Structure 1
């Protein structure tokens, strides 16, 4: 086993070695990984010193050159940009390495444009991080196609080009994904027009996706399936207690996956029995904290959640022990469903389950809309389809003798 205490960092980064060592320990990295990261820090520090640079010279271009040199020299570990993330993140928080935004000019042209688009979504449109990242991912193929054609790829773009991309990309995609892609593409085209990168607005060239609201029936779990889902979590293990707490929150409160990932310790008001939820559009609303949800949270927070690893409620088990992402919560639900023998479904199925459970318990559609924090009553109206008791008087009697 490698001993991180025996790794000595020399050069311009030496003053930050002890702090980085403590950071790795706090994030839950093992001794071997900590030692490898410190050796990487020493190599980078000596490499910078040999070129007359200090930590402030760590631009994306310099980091890329260092990683390429390690690859060419035949190093077995830390041969890609991603391997540098723990060290660079720490140095940036210390004000040593240059923030990536400062070095945007060094990025490839597509990445530069996507970075500008992401800033536009945050600063001008007020979108949250998850939505920004999703939009950027959805429009990346479109920009890569156009920018590859040179400067004229955007300037000379026509409505036909937009429509051709839509037909080529969305034909094989699920309806929901295709609809989100169209929304993101319209947003990008507005940005390009506002920035003067295209001469005319091409938003109207994006065709609508054939989809009908309220056409389907919400698919929910019954009580037995919910019990099997929760029972699939090993309460004697740290990850099991965390997963049980997340699944209980999803089933009982009907939160979205991103809302669960965004919960912070300060959002739990134990004295009042409330939880603050940060929903779509940066809205904050309070919901009551049921007893079973509180018990599952307490079991995880007191015996499972790593101490001193941030203010988010739910953390990753493997290092770095940062906050869980929306995608991680969704995949957690899928794994639990498969363990319980229920097939594969994702977090939104549990939101439907919460709404259906409230309806069967006597809740009105208006009350369900308040709990789910719907902006429009029409969004909640889809649950009227599963209220069989209310629908039964509307059914016409079956004709006598008909088969």
Structure 2
């Protein structure tokens, strides 16, 4: 049985009716191809013959492949949505996922870079070639703005407002937001635009960050650049673009920025998503307490010094 027609119909439905991004659509497609390949091996002739037990067997296989709970839950979500679409299209009359509970997710706190590690990363860039200047500009901007990597790579020239030190970006659901970037990032971007980008340009385009072929930098390309630079900077943590976003948010909250402002800069629709960063900064708050609170065990002289510095700021 070839399920391609139903799968293609579902993917089109995701893009047109639900307005999901290309990246999300590709994730659904990858997960569902894996699922349908498994179903074929179960000798299922028709999609309306799929039973709950077969889906449960597939989830078990995913665990046996080494997938974590979050990944298995994502697969189940895609399968559930696909079967719901089949009901809409009258291919099936029931959803075999209805009685399957999603795996219980524990929310792991994202690992971040310390401020010292971020400084080491940014200072490790050379400025010898157009590629060096571009790489520094991308990473500097990513940390200065907290953008998602897709948002970063989709930036256009018209999105930059360097004299006022802010950028515009299109977030999830095509929601536009304004993000401040600071003086250092603005200067590094100006250097890239003035010196490096003209040398990378092969044909007219308004794409901001170009690869050596004059085309839009890919996520995979940027990921490789970041991993290589982390090694040069002596950073032993596994580094990803999203880890810089986590670091950006945590460092802002540690320095007293209001949670609502961080939510707006990150483009979170729900503040509950942003609140995870308040948990990450507990260690920082504990350190402040130990320095400042009269019952923390620190000497009064140390505490007086801390309060004096705080008042001077």
CA-CA distance at 1:271 after TM superposition:
4.9
Going from structure 1 to structure 2, the CA distance change for 1:147 and 1:196 (only over 3 Å counts) comes to farther
CA-CA distance at 1:134 after TM superposition:
1.4
Correspondence for 2:58 among 158, 165, 168: 165
CA-CA distance at 1:168 after TM superposition:
0.9
The answer to whether the aligner puts 1:287 opposite 2:182 as a matched pair is no
CA-CA distance at 1:111 after TM superposition:
4.5
Query: Taking structure 2 as the reference length, what is the TM-score of the superposition?
Result: 0.81
1:262-273 alignment runs, 5 A limit = 262-273=154-165
SS at match of 1:287: strand
1:4-403 alignment runs, 5 A limit = 109-147=2-40, 152-171=45-64, 172-213=66-107, 216-305=108-197, 306-307=200-201, 308-317=203-212, 319=213, 321-343=214-236, 344-385=238-279, 386-388=281-283, 390=285
CA-CA distance at 1:147 after TM superposition:
4.6
CA-CA distance at 1:358 after TM superposition:
0.9
Q: Quick check: 1:244–1:296 contact (8 Å CA) kept in 2?
A: yes
Distance 1:112 1:122 in 2: 16
Going from structure 1 to structure 2, the CA distance change for 1:296 and 1:111 (only over 3 Å counts) comes to farther
- After superposition, the CA RMSD in angstroms is 2.8
Q: Which runs of 5+ in 2 are unaligned?
A: 297-313
Q: Quick check: 1:185–1:206 contact (8 Å CA) kept in 2?
A: no
Query: Taking structure 1 as the reference length, what is the TM-score of the superposition?
Result: 0.64
Q: Quick check: 1:330–1:347 contact (8 Å CA) kept in 2?
A: yes
Q: Which runs of 5+ in 1 are unaligned?
A: 1-107, 399-403
SS at match of 1:243: helix
Going from structure 1 to structure 2, the CA distance change for 1:296 and 1:141 (only over 3 Å counts) comes to same
CA-CA distance at 1:389 after TM superposition:
5.8
Distance 2:6 2:63 in 1: 23
1:326-385: CA deviations, max 9, x gaps? 343333322222222213221111111111221232212222222212222221222222
Higher relative contact order (CA 8 A, sep 6+): 2
Q: Quick check: 1:265–1:311 contact (8 Å CA) kept in 2?
A: yes
1:135-179: CA deviations, max 9, x gaps? 111211112233566772412111111111111113411333233
SS at match of 2:98: helix
SS at match of 1:304: helix
> Which has the larger displacement, 135-144 or 382-391?
382-391
Q: Quick check: 1:163–1:205 contact (8 Å CA) kept in 2?
A: no
Distance 1:253 1:202 in 2: 43
SS at match of 1:152: coil
Distance 1:267 1:203 in 2: 43
CA-CA distance at 1:387 after TM superposition:
4.0
CA-CA distance at 1:206 after TM superposition:
4.3
Q: Mark the structure with the bigger radius of gyration.
A: 1
Distance 1:309 1:150 in 2: 53
1:22-81: CA deviations, max 9, x gaps? xxxxxxxxxxxxxxxxxxxxxxxxxxxxxxxxxxxxxxxxxxxxxxxxxxxxxxxxxxxx
Distance 2:9 2:221 in 1: 27
Going from structure 1 to structure 2, the CA distance change for 1:153 and 1:309 (only over 3 Å counts) comes to farther
